[in-house]
Amino acid sequence: MPFVAICGFPSSGKSTRARELESYLCKEKGVNTRIIADCDFGLDKNVIYADSIKEKELRGNLKSSVQRALTKEDVIILDSLNYIKGCRYELYCVTKSCQTPQCIVYCGSSAEQAREWNKERKDEDQYSEEIFDALVMRFEAPDSRNRWDRPLFVLQSDDPLPCQQIYEALFHSKAPPPNLSTLSQPISSTNFLHELDQITQKTVNLIMEAQKTCVPGDSLSVPGATDKVELGRPLTLAELQRMRRQFISYTKTHPVDDTTKLTNIFVQFLNNSFR
């Protein structure tokens, strides 16, 4: 499941480094390794990178491929430009949600060196001068100060690939703990959502009925809640339903173990919303 993102200028040796790392992990460590690359989709890179919409679609396809592959017991190597900081951050979030280690291998060859290597390619494999220059200009180099860019291995054209260090970063280090934005939390019970819906709807109905006889400033007791609803002002059904939807959305990602507490938690939520 560990993940390696290769990044660098066009024609900077990314595919060579990816194959070298794959060979080392397979032969020396006996680790199943898979490379996911732009070329897997059979697209003309000069056409793709000349169109922002098509490029965005390609990045989405690459990210989806990584997400699917990370469920298997393989090392996944993404051989692509990965030149956008935001894109690398999204991949970091994917690995974080899977609780698997990752690292970045940055092929730091100069633009001049990459340009020469590009000219040595077959015509059909070359980046056009216009596309090459545009990608170099837009390139956002990884920075080890960013949590999504580390561990970071920076390689010049004649540097040996630090295979053992990469292996240790992938297999001898802890994965970053998932946070609330990437952690899928389980529902507490099979009928949790049904109970949540019923409890909140009954509370809303009770408040609407009570407002027919209550005056602003009254407190309303709700069965199942220790706190009381503070009716500081008249509330419309639309307002209450909006608050109810917000509470349900929040509670889906923060489920409680004891559903008997739901009514009181909802009352507290409403009182905080009224202020």
Tell me which residue has tokens 């889906």: 252
* pLDDT for position 133: 97
pLDDT of the residue at 183 = 46
Last residue of a domain, one of 116, 139, 171: 171
Single out the residue in 171, 201, 227 at which a domain terminates. Answer: 171
66 and 105 share one domain:
yes
For residue 151, whether the previous peptide bond is cis, meaning omega lies within 30 degrees of 0, is yes
Contacts 24+ apart (CB under 8 A), 44-52: 45/127, 45/131, 46/127, 46/128, 46/131, 49/127, 49/131, 49/134, 49/135, 50/130, 50/131
Give the tokens for residue 116. 């020469």
4-33: string of b/e by CB count within 10 Å (b at 16+)? bbbbbbbbbbbbebbeebbebbeeeeebeb
Q: Does any domain span residue 74?
A: yes
Query: What per-residue confidence (pLDDT) applies to 186?
Result: 46
pLDDT digits (tens, 9 = 90+) for 93-128: 889 888 899 999 999 999 999 999 999 999 989 999
50 shares its domain with 165: yes
Dist. CA 139–CA 161, nearest whole Å: 22
Is residue 222 domain-resident?
Answer: yes
pLDDT at 253 over 90: no
Range of the domain at 270: 192-274
Looking at residue 185, its pLDDT comes to 47
pLDDT number for residue 179: 57
- Same domain, yes or no: 201 and 249: yes
Is the residue at 20 inside a domain? yes
Among 171, 204, 225, give the residue marking a domain's end. Answer: 171
Start-to-end Cα distance in the chain? 47
* Residue range 38-63, pLDDT digits in tens: 989 888 999 999 999 999 999 999 99
**In a domain? residue 176:** no
Q: Is the pLDDT of residue 274 over 80?
A: no
What is the rounded average pLDDT of the residues 218-239? Answer: 88
Specify the pTM. Answer: 0.66
For residue 64, the domain's CATH number is: 3.40.50.300
Give the pLDDT confidence score for residue 174 in this predicted structure.
79
Q: Are residues 210 and 103 in the same domain?
A: no
Distance of CA 152 to the CA centre of its chain: 19
Clarify whether residues 146 and 260 are in a common domain.
no
Average pLDDT over the chain reads 89
Is there a single domain that holds both residue 214 and residue 163? no
44 and 142 housed in the same domain: yes
Report if residue 187 sits inside a domain.
Answer: no
One domain for residues 30 and 113 = yes
Model confidence pLDDT, tens digit, residues 161-197: 999 999 999 999 877 766 544 444 444 455 778 888 8
Number of domains making up the chain: 2
Kindly state whether residues 26 and 88 are assigned to the same domain.
yes
39, 100: one domain: yes
pLDDT band at 216 (very low <50, low <70, confident <90, very high): confident
Q: What is the pLDDT of residue 275?
A: 65
Q: Tell whether 217 and 99 lie within a shared domain.
A: no
In a domain, 182, yes or no: no
pLDDT, position 181? 45
Same-domain check for residues 50 and 119: yes
pLDDT at 180: 47
Q: Is residue 141 part of a domain?
A: yes
Q: What is the mean pLDDT of residues 249-274?
A: 83
